[in-house]
């Protein structure tokens, strides 16, 4: 089993105490977002967890406790963009805080296990292509030698972020420009900057082919990287629950929607301020459910999980 922690919320930034408690107790519960009465019990035994993939904008709360992860292979998807507090109010200052955190994490666990994400990319009157190129270049230079790979994506409109994105008067790059030359020149510039700073660059879940710009299609739950980290051949198929253009292999989610207090205005994972407020009130680091409690009528079933890695001979 590959454990995703998490596409639905930033567990390292806000709920690391809960996650370490779950590792200590050896299991967690996850509600089915399509049918909340269905609850899966997921074993966290090192015997069944092949790798943990962390997604975060701020792993600082985990840094003093990394030794508690020693039984598990893992890597981090670390999002670091050029947006300001107007769009990412819950993210600490980039130059003064987040860049040093990224470098510290890389030095602790190795640069191949910290993936820099510059996403989502969208454009407004303030956040122009020129702005993004300058911000990308500054961050790439600051991270030189501390990561091997950068992942980009062009923002998408979802039901949960449609209103916010309209209020920002943003346009979304790929959706606006298609495969036009202006967008390709922008992508080509980012690719060049990444290469100058010793990084490969790939695009996440994009239908547009940017290979001629030096940008490959990405897999965030990355079979190749997991095999490198674990020394195993990973037997896992494409994650059918993700978009068609997504290259990820199948994984089990640990998080819950409507639980991230960061307040990023483009976020697709929070759909209701009321649900978010109630979920935050329910947070208990000792609960097997993240920001929730079992209720009458909930049905808990053991999720059947097993290793998908086979040791190489």
Query: Both ends of the chain: CA-CA distance in Å?
Result: 21
Q: What is the mean pLDDT of residues 290-304?
A: 96
CB atoms within 10 A of CB 256: 23
Helix (H, G, I), strand (E, B) or coil at 131: helix
Number of domains forming the structure of the chain: 1
CA–CA separation, 79 vs 114, rounded Å? 10
Q: Tell me what the pLDDT averaged over the chain comes to.
A: 92
Check pLDDT > 50 for residue 293: yes
Does position 174 have pLDDT exceeding 50, yes or no?
no
Ordered DSSP codes for 82-110:
S--TTT-TTSPPIIIIIHHHHHHHHHHH-
Is residue 171 scored above 80 in pLDDT? no
Which residues lie across from 74 on neighbouring strands? 52
| pLDDT surpasses 60 at 179 | no
pLDDT band at residue 158 under the 50/70/90 scheme: low
Q: What is the pLDDT of residues 21-57, one digit of tens each?
A: 999 999 999 999 999 999 999 999 999 999 999 999 9
Structure tokens at 97: 């805080």
**pLDDT at residue 79 above 80?**
yes
Domain span holding position 290: 2-311
SS (H, E, C) 239-297: CCCCCCCCCCECCEECCCCCCCCCCCCCCCCCCCHHHHHHHHHCCCCCCCECCCCCCCC
The rounded distance, in Å, linking the Cα atoms of 64 and 50 is 23
Percentage, residues of the chain above pLDDT 70? 92
**pLDDT top residue among 238 and 113:** 113
**pLDDT value at residue 175:** 43
Q: With 0.85 as the threshold, say if the pTM is over it.
A: yes
* Of the listed ranges 102-116, 155-169, 185-199, 257-271, the one predicted with least confidence: 155-169
Residue 84 CA to residue 92 CA, distance in Å, equals 10
């Amino acid at each position: 089993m590959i454990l995703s922690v998490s596409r639905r919320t930033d567990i390292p930034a806000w709920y690391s105490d809960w996650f370490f408690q779950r590792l200590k107790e050896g299991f967690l519960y996850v509600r089915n977002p399509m049918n909340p009465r269905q609850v899966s019990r997921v074993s966290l035994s090192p015997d069944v967890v092949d790798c943990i993939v962390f997604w975060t904008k701020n792993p600082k709360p985990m840094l003093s406790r990394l030794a508690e992860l020693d039984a598990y292979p893992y890597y981090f998807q670390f999002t670091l963009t050029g947006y300001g507090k107007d769009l990412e109010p819950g993210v600490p200052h980039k130059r003064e805080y987040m860049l040093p955190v990224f470098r510290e994490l890389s030095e602790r666990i190795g640069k191949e296990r910290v993936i820099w994400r510059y996403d989502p990319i969208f454009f407004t009157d303030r956040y122009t292509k020129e702005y993004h190129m300058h911000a990308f270049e500054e961050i790439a230079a600051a991270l030189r030698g501390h990561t091997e790979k950068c992942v980009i994506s062009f923002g998408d409109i979802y039901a949960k972020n449609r209103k916010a994105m309209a209020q920002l008067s943003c346009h979304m790059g790929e959706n606006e420009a298609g495969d036009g030359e202006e967008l390709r020149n922008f992508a080509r510039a980012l690719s060049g900057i990444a290469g100058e700073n010793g990084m490969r660059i790939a695009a996440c879940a994009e239908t547009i082919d940017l290979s001629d710009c030096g940008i490959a299609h990405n897999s965030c739950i990355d079979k190749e990287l997991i095999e490198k980290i674990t020394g195993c051949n990973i037997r896992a198929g494409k994650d059918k629950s993700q978009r068609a253009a997504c290259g990820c292999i199948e994984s089990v989610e640990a998080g819950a929607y409507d639980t991230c207090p960061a307040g990023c205005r483009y976020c697709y994972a929070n759909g209701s301020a009321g649900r978010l407020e109630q979920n935050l009130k329910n947070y208990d680091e000792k609960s097997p459910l993240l920001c929730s409690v079992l209720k009458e009528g909930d049905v808990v079933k053991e999720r059947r999980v097993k290793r998908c890695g086979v040791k190489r001979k």
